[in-house]
Amino acid sequence: MTQDYRKFLRPEELSRISRLEIRARQVVEGFLSGLHRSPYYGQSVEFVQHREYVSGDDIRRVDWKVWSKTDKYYIKLYEEDTNLRTTLLVDLSESMLFQSGAMSKYDYACTIAAALSHLLLKQQDSVGLYAFDDTLRKRVPSSSRRNQLHAILQALSNEKPAEKTDLHQILRQVADDQSQKGMIVLISDLFTDFDKLCKGLTQLRYRGHDVLVMHILDDQELDFEYTGTTRFEGMEEAGDLICDPRALREGYQKAMQDFLFDLRRFCSKNLVDYQVIRTSEHMDAALLHYFNHRVGMRQAVQK
Amino acid sequence: MGGFFSGLTSFLSPFFMNPAVFLPGAALISAPIIIHLLNRLRFRKVRFAAMAFLLQSQKQNKRRILFEQLLLLLLRILIVLLIASLIARLMFSPNQLALLRGEKSHQLVLLDNSASMQDRWGETTAFDEGKKIILKLVEEGSQRPGTQKLTVILLSEPDRPFILGEDINEQLLIKLAEDLETLEPSSRALNLIDGLQASLDRLNDLKAVSRTANIITDFRESDWNTQPALKEMVKSFEEADIAVNLVRSVTERHQNLSLVGLSGDLQTAAVNVPLRLTAQVRNHSQTKADGVRLTVIQDGKKLPVAVPVAGVEAGETVAKSFDVVFATPGRHQLEVLLDSDALDQDNSRFLTLNLKATNPVLLIDGDQEAKAAAVVADALAADPTLTGIAPLIQSPDYLRRNSLENFRCIYLINVGALPADAIVPLENYVASGGGLAWFVGELTDPRFINDTLIREDENSLFPVPLAPTWSDLPRASEFSPGPDLEFTDHPLFTIFQGEENPFVAAVHVDRFFPVAEEVTEAGLREEGRVQTLVTLRNDAPIMFEHSFGQGKIITTLTSAGNAWNDWSTNPSFVIFQLELQKYLAKRYEKQHSEEVGTPIELAVDAARYSQELEIISPNEQTAQLQMTREEVDADDDSEDFVWKANFTDTNDAGVYRVTLFDNDQLPEERWIAYNPPVTESSLKLLSKDDLEDRVGQSDQIAIQSYDDLSWLQQADAQQEARMSVLAALFLIMMFEQFLAYRLSYHTRTSGA
């Protein structure tokens, strides 16, 4: 039962669904129906904690039961009251077009972005979108309106990746734009300058944003299982190379793992949540990771 | 291009059995290179995002990858090369390393060309088979030119190699085939030890990397039985680290009859007088030979009737006598032939003789009437046509005035004191080989004999000093019968021996000259110079034999005629006289017969003959020789010298005609019969096991059977490095697989 829903979330199955909206819905609904214990119960909002009443607070939220027992005024705090603002940063650079399996990183990223948007909007949260390559391509301001999902989907589907990535500039712009603290979800393959990426992420953290990095990578980019003489033509003007990939595999993997290790270390140091997601993985992995992050964040708040 | 290819092939030939296969195989080494290049040209394209990491990996591993790829390529080329080497049959041994340094292995062949190698069966002979083995050896070797050298030594000429250290190649094969075509075995008995010693010396002088002595012979038992040193000689090859191949060129033992002797009383031979010859036939077979017959060829003409010989038992020798008659004086030759068998060479035997019209015998009688001489003359030649003897009765004066050289022998009958100028020519005559017979009589002067003829230096014309006067021997009474003459065991009386001879028993000696008293029989025996041949009934010696120079002297101390005895009236007298004449003449007329291979050695008076010499061989080949001058060791100061000649080309049986020329260029012929050696006739062979027992077991010594020439290829097979190449190939393939696995990517199995 636990794994049954996953058969609907396989990237190869989802790839057949052309419309992103349906795909997002499929992911979210499949995901929600598959969970044993969902932290969301229908339309109700969840109690988080009590807070001592201060003047100016709405007296309707005073917990009278507590008053009756302790003779003190406490106000119930509900989650919906946190008013979560999530900004999705989706990388639309050329490297995201790489595809060895059923879905390209671009498709996968878009699907995740759409699914997250769908899910968040369903919870009345506000969601915004930045689609970028070396510059900002599309921006959908945060909103929790009903048609927000449509705007996001339109923004994603209209873009065709063609350019290089410049994350630093985008992250700086996002940091500048998002004066209000919120959650920033970066969905990218992160094939950009490492230092600039770190700098950008640091800026976001500096501004108090909660940053979640979904590092989308193709299987071949991680495993590098090419055989036979191959001419690798670099995307984003990275140059060409004719080689026997088997001979370079070990070195490549080491370089990749070093990169991932450095990234992970940086993220953990800067309290940036970081997750590598393979395009061959089930879509719910990303969502699950998101919710884990949310829960972790909530627990951190509760403590 | 073809020349280059053939040059390359010949260059490779020392290392491969099939060098022609290796070249195309080696060309396949381009296959891995081409595949490698094709792989570089034919690639698929992938648009890749994470190029930075790929380029980083490529930058870091560039050298390692290049090295590993080159190593892999090298290994694959090596594998192709090794496979090509396997197919081309690479030969690799320490010797090959030496070959690279320019050294070569040396094959020495000692070919037995003794008479026994003429052993014939079917269309071939042992010698022909030996030649085939040599050609086969060279043919095998010529497939790898430049690796081997060949020396061929013929047993007949161990010091003059037939082929000396020539490279084995196609040219040599052609040349050798032509040379061997005309090569025939000799008729001689040869010493295998000499050949082996010469071979050993040759090989010891060589610096070749591997030396092999191939001894091609017939393994006759008689060779190994009579030459025990053969075993030690073969061993010495082993000690010198020389491989020995004892190669048999005969299938099996063949039946053989041989003529081992042909003789006769040639000294008495005369025109139209039947000459009795005796041929000896030996059966070397394992079964009795029946129907044997002798064919006689007289002066090149076959006599119409063959001489039948009774069956000859296996291993036995049978003598068969027959008469031949020569119608003309002069030199004659006679050949006796057996029917053809395995070994033809020993089926013939030659004989030469210088026939005179008559054989003059000088009878000197001191008596004017010469009655005794007449009796002897009658005994010798009652009819000269029957005995061929021409007796000449003369007085002692004849000795002083005439040359004695032409007489077969001289009788001195009842001779008194001789003048000194008669004694000297007489002594010269006997000293040079003439025969002399003394018969005493009334005129015999004991004082002259004792004082003049008997000398202190024991070189006397008369054997013993005589008593001052003669003695009478009374006739035996009826009660004491017995012959007056007691013969000893001597060739003269062989004809009287065997059974009681009534004729000899009837001879009576009435008077004789006793020897001087101081001479005793024991003293004579001790002295040994004089041999007593006949004694009288009273034990008084009556007949002696002693030597003077090269001649023989028979002295009878009774009369020749009937004055002192009645022997001349007895039939045995004629027989005795004829035997005596033959015996005395024997040494004078030496039979000129030699064994083939013996050189003709001549030493002739330079004052009489010119330096030129002509020798005509049995095959009618004429050799003109110049004799060499040699000083004679003379006691006086005279500068005498002789012409000497040494003619060694006497390998053929038959008659060699030697012609000397005197100072007037008049020819003087001497004929010498050369006969095959009797030792070569036995064809009994040693089996392989017997031979192994004799030479001992050794890795260095291999005994090769007839018809089994696999050892020729075996030598190569031993050198072929098949196993080594296979092992190397296996190891390299393992390493290549390991390297290829290490360099390539392999997905992990799900279970892992």
- Residues above pLDDT 90, as percent of chain B: 6
Answer whether B60 sits within 8 Å of A250, measured CB to CB: no
Lowest pLDDT segment from A130-139, B206-215, B369-378: B206-215
pLDDT at B10: 67
User: Using a CB-CB distance cutoff of 8 angstroms, which residues of chain A are in contact with residue B747?
Assistant: 225
- Residues of chain B found within 8 Å of residue A243, distances taken between Cβ atoms: 54, 58, 65
Q: Which residues of A touch B (CB under 8 A)?
A: 94-98, 105, 189, 191, 218, 221, 224-236, 238-239, 241-252, 254-256, 259
The alpha-carbon gap from B26 to the nearest alpha carbon of chain A, in Å, equals: 27
Contacts with A224 from chain B: Cβ below 8 Å? 745
List, for residues B223-243, the tens digit of each pLDDT value: 777 666 777 787 788 888 888
**A134 or B673, higher pLDDT:** B673
Residue A115 CA to residue A123 CA, distance in Å, equals 12
Among B45, B47, B53, the residue with its CB nearest the CB of A252 is: B53
User: Å from A165 to nearest chain B CA?
Assistant: 12
Are residues B541 and B532 in contact, defined by beta-carbon separation less than 8 angstroms?
Answer: yes
Percent of the residues in chain B that have a pLDDT greater than 70, as a whole number: 89
d(CA A260, nearest CA chain B) in Å: 11
Q: Which of B57, B58, B66, B747 to mutate to test the interface with A (most CBs of A within 10 A)?
A: B57
Q: Is B86 left (phi over 0), alpha (psi -120 to 50) or beta?
A: alpha
Cβ of B48 within 8 Å of Cβ of A227? The answer is no
Nearest CA-CA distance, residue A105 and chain B, Å:
10
Three-state DSSP at B161 gives coil
Prediction pTM value: 0.56
For the CA atoms of B422, B423, B424, B425, what is the dihedral angle to 10 degrees? 60
Q: What is the C-alpha to C-alpha distance for residues B395 and B376, in angstroms, rounded to an integer?
A: 15
Interface contact A251-B47, CB threshold 8 A:
no
Report yes or no: A184 and A152 within 8 Å, Cβ to Cβ: no
Number of inter-chain CB pairs under 8 A, A vs B? 116
Examine the pLDDT at A301 and tell me if it is beyond 50.
no
What's the pLDDT at A32?
Answer: 58
Confidence band of B717 (pLDDT split at 50, 70, 90): very low
Cα–Cα distance, A103 to A27 (Å, whole number): 15
**Does A234 sit within 8 Å of B46, measured CB to CB?**
no
Residue of B nearest to A255 (CA): B53
Query: Would you state the pLDDT for residue A13?
Result: 60
**Which residue of B lies nearest to A241 if distances are taken between CA atoms?**
B55
Residue B50's contacts (CB-CB under 8 Å, 6 or more residues apart) are: A95, A189, A191, A221, A252, A256
Interface test with B, best of A248, A256, A262 (most B CBs within 10 A): A248
Work out the minimum CA distance from A174 to partner chain B, whole angstroms: 25
CB nearest to B54's CB, from A246, A252, A259 = A252
For tokens 């005795």, the residue is B576
Best of B71, B742, B745, B746 to mutate (most A CBs within 10 Å, chain A): B745
- The C-alpha of A271 sits at a distance from chain B's nearest C-alpha, in angstroms, of 26
Q: Between chains, do B49 and A246 touch, taking CB under 8 Å as contact?
A: no
Q: Is there a contact between A246 and B744 if contact means CB atoms under 8 Å apart? A: yes
Q: What is the pLDDT of residue B149?
A: 85
Please indicate whether, in this complex, the C-beta atoms of A221 and B744 are within 8 angstroms of each other: no
pLDDT of residue B752: 31
Q: Using alpha carbons, select from B554, B577, B481, B464 the residue that is nearest to residue B518.
A: B464
Positive or negative: CA dihedral B149, B153, B159, B163: negative
ipTM of the complex: 0.78
| Structural domains in chain A plus CATH codes | 4-38+83-302 (3.40.50.410), 47-80 (no CATH)
From chain B, pick out residues whose CB is under 8 angstroms from the CB of A97. 47, 49
The pLDDT of residue B550:
83
Residue A288 has pLDDT above 80, yes or no: no
- From the list B46, B49, B51, the residue facing A226 with the nearest CB is B46
Asked whether the predicted pLDDT for residue B533 surpasses 80, the reply is yes
DSSP label at residue B329 = -
Q: Which of A165, A252, A254, A276 to mutate to test the interface with B (most CBs of B within 10 A)?
A: A252
Compute the distance between CA of residue B129 and CA of residue B236 in angstroms, rounded to an integer. Answer: 27
Alpha carbon of B752: minimum distance to chain A alpha carbons (Å) = 16
Beta bridge partners of B166: B150
- Residue B158 is which amino acid? P
Would you place residue B591 in the very low, low, confident or very high pLDDT band (cuts 50, 70, 90)?
low
Measured between CB atoms, which of A235, A248, A251 is closest to B47? Answer: A235
Q: What is the pLDDT of residues A61-80, one digit of tens each?
A: 888 988 999 988 988 876 54
Q: What is the pLDDT of residues B595-647, one digit of tens each?
A: 888 888 888 888 888 888 899 998 888 988 888 888 776 555 556 788 888 88
Put simply, the answer to whether B68 touches A247 (Cβ < 8 Å) is yes
Q: Give the model confidence (pLDDT) of B398-438 as tens digits.
A: 988 888 888 888 999 999 888 888 898 998 888 888 889 99
Of B48, B53, B56, the CB nearest to A233: B48
**pLDDT, tens only, B461-511:** 898 889 988 888 887 765 556 678 888 888 888 877 765 667 777 888 889
Give the closest residue to B550 by CA, choosing from B434, B409, B407, B423.
Answer: B434
Q: Which of A107, A148, A104 is nearest to A125 (CA)?
A: A148
Task: Give the span between the Cα atoms of B222 and B228, in whole angstroms.
Answer: 10
Domains of chain B, earliest start first: 2-91+722-743 (no CATH), 105-254+684-709 (3.40.50.410), 257-355 (2.60.40.10), 359-588 (3.40.50.880), 593-675 (2.60.40.10)
- pLDDT at residue B554, as a whole number: 93
Burial class of A139 by CB neighbour count within 10 A (0 to 12, 13 to 18, 19+): middle
- In this model, does residue A1 exceed pLDDT 60? no
Helix %, strand %, coil % of chain A (to 5): 50, 20, 30
- Average pLDDT, integer, range A272-287: 83
Of B47, B53, B55, the CB nearest to A98: B47
At residue A34 the predicted structure's pLDDT band, cuts being 50, 70 and 90, is very low
Average pLDDT estimate for A30-45: 45
Angle in degrees, CA B466, B470, B474, rounded to 5: 130
In this structure, what DSSP letter does residue B564 have?
S
| pLDDT of amino acid B578 | 86
Residue with tokens 């390393």: B97
Q: Are residues A252 and B50, on separate chains, in Cβ contact within 8 Å?
A: yes
Residue of A nearest to B45 (CA): A231
Cβ-Cβ contacts under 8 Å, A189 against chain B: 49-50
Residue B103 is predicted with a pLDDT of 56
The SS3 of residue A20 is helix
Choose the closest CB to B61 out of A97, A227, A251: A251
Query: What pLDDT sits at residue A21?
Result: 60
Instruction: Please name the residue of chain A whose CA is at the shortest distance from the CA of residue B51.
Output: A234
Higher local confidence (pLDDT), B709 or B604? B604
Phi then psi dihedrals of residue B477, to 5 deg: -80, 170
Could you read off the pLDDT of B725-736 as tens digits, one per residue? 888 889 999 988
pLDDT band for A51, please (50, 70, 90 cuts): confident
Is pLDDT of B456 > 90?
Answer: no
Interchain proximity A227–B42, CB inside 8 Å: no
pLDDT on residue B714 = 52
Q: How far is B738 from chain A (nearest CA, A)?
A: 14
**Span B192-209, mean pLDDT?**
82
Average model confidence (pLDDT) for chain B? 82
Instruction: Please give the structure tokens belonging to residue B665.
Output: 């260029």
Closest partner CB to B745 (pick from A94, A97, A249): A249
CB A21 within 8 A of CB A149: yes
**What does the pLDDT read at residue A261?**
94
Mean pLDDT of chain A: 78
Residue among A191, A225, A236 whose CB faces B747 most closely? A225
Helix (H, G, I), strand (E, B) or coil at B348: strand
Q: Which of A94, A227, A238 sits opposite B52 (nearest CB)?
A: A238
pLDDT of residue A260: 93
Strand partners, B65: none
Q: Give A-chain residues touching B69 at CB under 8 angstroms.
A: 244, 247
Sign for the CA dihedral angle at B352, B356, B357, B360 comes to negative
Shortest CA distance to B218 belongs to which of B196, B180, B192? Answer: B192
The residue of chain A with its CA nearest to that of B66 is A247
- Kindly indicate the confidence band of residue B120, based on its pLDDT and cuts at 50, 70 and 90: confident
* Residues of chain A neighbouring B40 (CB-CB closer than 8 A): 229, 242
CB contact under 8 A, A238 and B55: yes
Residue B592: pLDDT band with limits 50, 70, 90: low
- Residue A81 confidence class, pLDDT cut points 50, 70, 90: very low
Measuring CA to CA, how many Å separate B340 from each of B119, B455, B653, B725? 11, 58, 16, 57
Chain B residues inside the 8 Å CB shell of A105: 49
**A232:B46 CB<8 A:** yes
> In this predicted model, what pLDDT tens digit does every residue of B296-315 receive, in sequence order?
998 888 888 888 888 888 88
Closest CA in chain B for residue A238: B51
| Pick from B436, B392, B434, B376: nearest CA to B412 | B436
Please give the pLDDT value at position B746: 59
What SS3 class is residue B124? strand
Q: What pLDDT score does B96 carry?
A: 53
B42, B43, B54: residue with CB nearest A248: B54
Comparing B351 with A164, which gets the higher pLDDT? B351
Asked if A230's CB is within 8 angstroms of B46's CB, the reply is: yes
